[in-house]
Amino acid sequence: MNPSLEIQLIAAVTAAACAIPGVFLVLRKMALISDAISHSILPGIVIGFMITQDLASPWLILLAAVSGIITVILVEMIQKTGLVKEDTAIGLVFPALFSVGVILIAQNANDVHLDVDAVLLGELAFAPFDRLYWNGTDMGPKALWIISGILMLTVTLLLAFYKELKLSTFDIGLSSALGFSPVILHYGLMSVASVTTVAAFDAVGAILVVALMITPAAAAYLLTTDLKKMLVLSLIFGVGSAIGGYWVAHGLDASISGSITTVLGLLFLTVYLFAPSKGLIAVLLRQNRQRKEVSLLTFLLHLNNHDSVEERRVAHLQEHINWRKVRATSVLDLAVRNNMIVIEDQVVSLTRKGLEFTEKALEYIITNKDEKIEDMKDDFFLFRG
């Protein structure tokens, strides 16, 4: 295998391994725990490195994962005292642990060949140089083996506990009533997130781990509300951006992890803007339409209230309801197009259909019963068509 293919493979597998726990972190509103873990594993890594002198040793991963879990426990302990909110607790714990790590590195600068840069930023380009030999044969890059192992573990756990995870994510009360311990699932998920972060940091750096966990899941969440689809979509997004990012880095001759994050960012931006029904544009259009519909309703009710010709002149209406001219015209247009009103000699009057519609609306407003609005929903759909 040539190094280029190996790098892409490592990036893709890492992306996949991060995407799965990421989905649950985003859904459980714990996305920032991944950020905290990715920083606070530093002291674990440094201590592990001081003991083993090997950046890819399993002890290192174990110790780092333990410090990740300690972070989670500390955050929860602080939170339980009720002295500060959860986000403050996270923000207090990880910089403190990170500081300990930085100081440990600086103190042992002579015998620790470990850089804070390397931990935070990672360098994927070097990953293929650290190879695994078994009985003298080259088995490929070590990082690939480690991260593939983690991916297998994550997938196995996901398949085994899919139902439990789903239940405890969406209805924690029901899941504990049914006897699934939310605490065990919580710590299980946190352990998987810690182990994945640790395994991935060496190849792609701590910050990219956060991006790879949160971004694909967030983008997928804007596109679907089905957990299975969300998992599949975030896997596709993660792996796609990993490979796309590699080629961007190749073209620009820049950091691979930076490029992957940038591609992820562009992907999220696109989804954020254009996602059907949940994207920014769709939301703005919908808000605009709803505002117009409410205006229309107000307008019709107003007409219903005023019988005299004087009060129904177009110019007077604009003044009376105090809309800006543009909106007044568009509301008038909408009403005319739907045969709700007729305009004769600048005087607006309700048609029979408009009258019926207004009566129904009035009834709904007075009684506030849901069944009254059922027919009106169809009428509203007529406007939108």
Partner 1 sequence: MDITEYFTDYTLRTITLGTAVLGAICGMLGSFAVLRKESLLGDAISHAALPGIAIAFLITGAKDSNVLLLGALVSGLIGTWWIRGIVSKTHLKTDTALGLILSLFFGFGMLLLTYIQKQPNANQAGLDKYLFGQAATLVESDVIMMSIVTGISLLVLLLFWKEFKLLLFDANYAMTLGFNTKFIDGLISFFIVLAIVIGLQTVGVVLMSAMLLAPAAAARQWTNSLSVMVLLAAIFGMFSGVFGTAISASQPNLSTGPVIVLVATVFVVFSFIFSPGRGILFKQIRLLRNRRELELQKTLYFMYSIVRKHEDTSRPHAIRILNNFQGFTKNTLSQLEQKHWITIQGTNWSLTDLGFDTASNLYNTYIPET
Give residues in contact with partner 1 (CB under 8 A). Answer: 26, 29-32, 34-35, 39, 78, 81, 83-85, 87-88, 90-92, 95-96, 98-100, 102-103, 106-107, 109, 116-117, 120-121, 207-208, 210-211, 213-215, 217-218, 221-222, 249, 252-255, 257-262, 264-265, 268, 272, 278-280, 283-284
Minimum distance, C-beta of residue 253 to partner 1, in the bound complex (Å): 6
Evaluate whether 267 touches 219 at the Cβ level (below 8 Å).
Answer: yes
Sign of CA dihedral 128, 129, 133, 138: positive
Judged by CB, which is closer to partner 1: 97, or 335?
97
Helix (H, G, I), strand (E, B) or coil at 138: strand
Minimum distance, C-beta of residue 77 to partner 1, in the bound complex (Å): 10
Judged by CB, which is closer to partner 1: 48, or 216?
216
Minimum distance, C-beta of residue 11 to partner 1, in the bound complex (Å): 13
In a 10 Å sphere around its CB, with 0-12 CB exposed, 13-18 middle and 19+ buried, how is residue 282 labelled?
middle
Minimum distance, C-beta of residue 231 to partner 1, in the bound complex (Å): 16
Judged by CB, which is closer to partner 1: 81, or 322?
81
The tokens for 345 are: 């000699």
Minimum distance, C-beta of residue 383 to partner 1, in the bound complex (Å): 23
Rounding to the nearest 10 degrees, give the CA dihedral for residues 18, 55, 44, 201: -20
Judged by CB, which is closer to partner 1: 103, or 382?
103
Q: Which residues of 289-307 are buried (b: 16+ CB within 10 A; e: fewer)?
A: eeeeeebbbebbebbbeee
Rounded Cα gap, residues 359 and 362, in angstroms: 5
Judged by CB, which is closer to partner 1: 14, or 358?
14
Cα–Cα separations (whole angstroms), residue 296 to 71, 108, 197, 331, 374: 55, 72, 53, 6, 18
Minimum distance, C-beta of residue 217 to partner 1, in the bound complex (Å): 8
Judged by CB, which is closer to partner 1: 27, or 355?
27
DSSP-assigned beta bridge partners for residue 342 = 349
Of 118, 115, 89, residue with least CA distance to 102: 115
Rounded Cα gap, residues 179 and 69, in angstroms: 24
Minimum distance, C-beta of residue 381 to partner 1, in the bound complex (Å): 23
Minimum distance, C-beta of residue 115 to partner 1, in the bound complex (Å): 10
Strands 131-134 and 347-350, sheet pairing: unpaired
Looking at the chain, how many residues does it have? 385
Minimum distance, C-beta of residue 45 to partner 1, in the bound complex (Å): 15
**Secondary structure, 3-state, 177-245:** HCCCCHHHHHHHHHHHHHHHHHHHHHHHCHHHHHHHHHHHHHHHHHHCCCHHHHHHHHHHHHHHHHHHH
Judged by CB, which is closer to partner 1: 8, or 255?
255
Judged by CB, which is closer to partner 1: 68, or 258?
258
The tokens for 320 are: 């009376």
